[in-house]
Amino acid sequence: MSTLEIKDLQVSVETEDGPKEILKGVTLTINDGETHAIMGPNGSGKSTTAYAIAGHPKYTITGGSVTLDGKDLLEMSPDERARAGLFLAMQYPVEVPGVSMANFLRTAKTALDGEAPKLRTWVKDVNGALDRMNLDPAFSQRSVNEGFSGGEKKRAEIAQLDLLDPKVAILDEIDSGLDIDALKVVSDGINAFASREGKGVLLITHYTRILRYVKPDFVHVFVDGRIAESGGEELAEELEANGYAKYIGAAV
């Protein structure tokens, strides 16, 4: 079972001119086996939603709640949230020089499971996950994200999703910077994850392109820090045809 419940989430960031309100009440529930897509124009607060749920220190929660299977995520540190079953694929994955992917993945897996993975099967698992993302096994010896191309970073995020096997995955613009072949590979990875028992996916994207390969159960249009409209797959098609103009007009 896994239910991510976001209720009236309000978030601000600290700026030079004092706190700035970015999320103005986001409400969204992701149930078992559901894939939700969030779409919206630049600066509408999509990444803020993802980071706030994952516990990035830059964002201050000013109201609302987020629970995973009834447990209050907002009370937890970022690593506790991950251990509770949350995963965030970042729009811009961070480089960690000098720390090999192998070391990083083993440390993460150990932290999540409370025990070190079995050495023999683990190496195979890592190589398998890399291979499914068309990444050479040599990637496990490279420093985390360092010198990876934009597309390689995104594929490495999905390889992590595969290995770390969370309950709920938030994927922030996983499709940006991918060519069509990489997009298919990444989509296959997301679909493989989503088809596992009791998983939830929140797919944040700017474009409908990826939705041809990853079929969302729900689509939400994000504008100016809140959800302006929710619907099914057809909403994505409408956005494809008409863009965000209608919502932006309404927001002004």
Partner 1 sequence: MTAVDTSLDSIKQSLELDKVESHLHPEGSFDLAAHPVPTGREEIWRFTPLKRLRDLHTEAAFGGTLDITEQLAEGINVSDDASGLLGVSGFVPTDRIAARVANAAHGTALYEIPAETVIEDASVIIVRGTGVEQAVAQHVVVKAGRFSQATVVFHFEGSATLADNVEIVVEDGAQLTVVTIDDWADDAVHVGHRHVKVGRDATFKHIEVTFGGDVVRSDTTAEYSGPGGSVELLGLYFADAGQHIEHRLFVDHTAPKTKSHVVYKGALQGHGAHTVWIGNVLIRKVAEGIETYEENRNLVLTDGCQADSVPNLEIETGEIEGAGHASAVGRFDDEQLFYLRSRGIPESEARRLVVHGFFNDLIRQIGVGDLEEKLTATVEAELAKNVLNNEKDNA
- Burial class of residue 146 (count of CB atoms within 10 Å of its CB; 0-12, 13-18, 19+): middle
28 Cβ neighbours under 8 A, 6+ residues apart: 6, 36, 202, 220, 227
43 counts as binding ligand ATP under rule CB under 6 A: yes
154 counts as binding ligand ATP under rule CB under 6 A: no
47 counts as binding ligand ATP under rule CB under 6 A: yes
Positions 137 through 166 that interact with partner 1 (CB under 8 A) = 143-144, 160, 164
Instruction: In angstroms, give the least distance from the CB of 14 to partner 1.
Output: 13
Please select the residue that binds Mg ion; options are 2, 12, 47, 160, rule is CB under 5 A: 47
Gap between the terminal Cα atoms of the chain: 40
Helix, strand, coil content of the chain in percent (nearest 5): 40, 30, 30
Instruction: In angstroms, give the least distance from the CB of 42 to Mg ion.
Output: 8
> Could you tell which of ligand ATP, partner 1, Mg ion, none binds residue 96, using a CB distance below 5 to 8 A set by kind?
partner 1
- Residues 82/87/93/96 CA torsion (nearest 10 deg): 30
**CB-hemisphere CA count at 13 Å for 16?**
0
Locate 6 and state its tokens. Answer: 């976001």
Instruction: In angstroms, give the least distance from the CB of 31 to ligand ATP.
Output: 24
12 counts as binding Mg ion under rule CB under 5 A: no
Amino acid at the residue 51: Y
72 counts as binding partner 1 under rule CB under 8 A: no
> Could you tell which of ligand ATP, partner 1, Mg ion, none binds residue 57, using a CB distance below 5 to 8 A set by kind?
partner 1
Residue identified by tokens 């009370």 is: 75
Amino acid at the residue 209: R
206 counts as binding ligand ATP under rule CB under 6 A: yes
189 counts as binding partner 1 under rule CB under 8 A: no
- Report the interface residues with ligand ATP, using CB under 6 A: 13, 15, 20, 22, 40, 42-48, 91, 206
Which residues of the shown chain bind Mg ion in the complex (CB under 5 A)?
46-47, 91
